[in-house]
Structure 1
Amino acid sequence: MRIKNIAALLLFLVTFSFYAQNDKDDEKREKIKAFKVSFLTTELELTPAEAEKFWPIYNAYDDKQFELRHEKMKTYLRKLTDETVNSISEKEAAALLSQIESTDKELYVLREKYMTNLKKVLSAKKILKLKKSEDDFNRKLLKQYKAGKN
């Protein structure tokens, strides 16, 4: 248990040092993703058989949800500046709102499919542990990011 805590601490320190560098966004994302994989592998204690089935499902989901959230949604949100919102026509606003709702539905369907696929390879307990581990990773990463900004 002690080695697990030390490994996690080292992982976060290394993640922070990589994150603080002025690399391109894609490079940062790939480095963070690699550390997240390492962190989740440690936390979930997957058997080799589980890992073989889990990682393709997880990676496909993670890539698709990133695409939906960061590419589509950011495109929409860039259009929502104070100036744009005040000057946009009702028709344009309805079209943009429809696009946002469509992306939200895509995310929901993607999440449902992901959970269905996970249940085929992991126990409910490990799926809950995955959710908790992802939340822990994200909280610690955000904490490191904030610490680096100061």
Structure 2
Amino acid sequence: MKYKKIFPILLLLLSFNFYGQHENMKEKKEQIKALKVAFLTTELNLTTSEAEKFWPIYNLFDDKQFELRHQKMKSFMRRMNDGSLDQITEKESNSFLVQIEETEEELFFLRKKFVQNLREIFPSVKILKLKKAEEDFNRKLLQQYRNKAHKK
């Protein structure tokens, strides 16, 4: 009798917890994006005119890149992380390899188109600076994550 009353309450509390975690992740993603915007703007020394042209192109590229990396590779990553990779068949592994190759190719062509679009608004030197600034940002972010994990 008590379980019938407690179970719905427990489910409700768990759903709030999962919702809170999702919101927390979404918030952290937005914070990282804001830091990245500030970092790239500073590193590239963007003028107002350049920024107006650059950010829509960059945001579209970044969103598509995220989608390719996270949505298309989701089933593969799930399989890799659940420990069943040792039991995978040759046919399944070939299928995953093809999927990875296709995704990497899509990423390559996406990056290539992105650079072509940037050439219309930036000199080549600034495009190279963007590449370096992205790598620097990612390196700093990873270092902060490592430092934070190390302190725990």
Query: Is the alpha carbon distance of 1:83 and 1:41 closer, same or farther for their aligned partners in structure 2, counting shifts above 3 Å?
Result: closer
1:83 Cα offset (Å):
4.2
Letter in structure 2 aligned against 1:24: N
- The gaps in structure 2 that reach 5 residues or longer are 1-20
Corresponding residue of 2:54: 54
RMSD over equivalenced CA pairs, Å: 1.7
Listed one character per residue, the Cα deviations across residues 4-45 of structure 1 (whole Å, up to 9, x for unaligned) are xxxxxxxxxxxxxxxxxx762222111100111011111111
Q: Max radius of gyration: which structure? A: 2
Corresponding residue of 1:76: 76
Query: Is the alpha carbon distance of 1:81 and 1:36 closer, same or farther for their aligned partners in structure 2, counting shifts above 3 Å?
Result: closer
Counterpart Cα distance in 2 of 1:38 and 1:142: 17
1:87 Cα offset (Å):
1.5
Identity of aligned residues (%): 57
- 5 Å-filtered alignment, 1:90-105, equals 90-105=90-105
Counterpart Cα distance in 2 of 1:26 and 1:75: 21
Q: Work out which structure has the larger RCO, using CA pairs closer than 8 Å and 6 or more positions apart in sequence.
A: 1
Query: Is the alpha carbon distance of 1:99 and 1:128 closer, same or farther for their aligned partners in structure 2, counting shifts above 3 Å?
Result: same
SS of residue matched to 1:106: helix
Moved more, 82-91 or 28-37: 82-91
TM-score (norm 1): 0.78
SS of residue matched to 2:139: helix
Is residue 64 of structure 1 aligned with residue 64 of structure 2? yes
Is residue 127 of structure 1 aligned with residue 140 of structure 2? no
Q: Which stretches of structure 1, 4 residues or longer, exceed 3 Å deviation after superposition? A: none
TM-score (norm 2): 0.77
SS of residue matched to 2:80: coil
Counterpart Cα distance in 1 of 2:25 and 2:74: 15
Question: Matched residue pairs, number?
Answer: 129
- 5 Å-filtered alignment, 1:34-53, equals 34-53=34-53
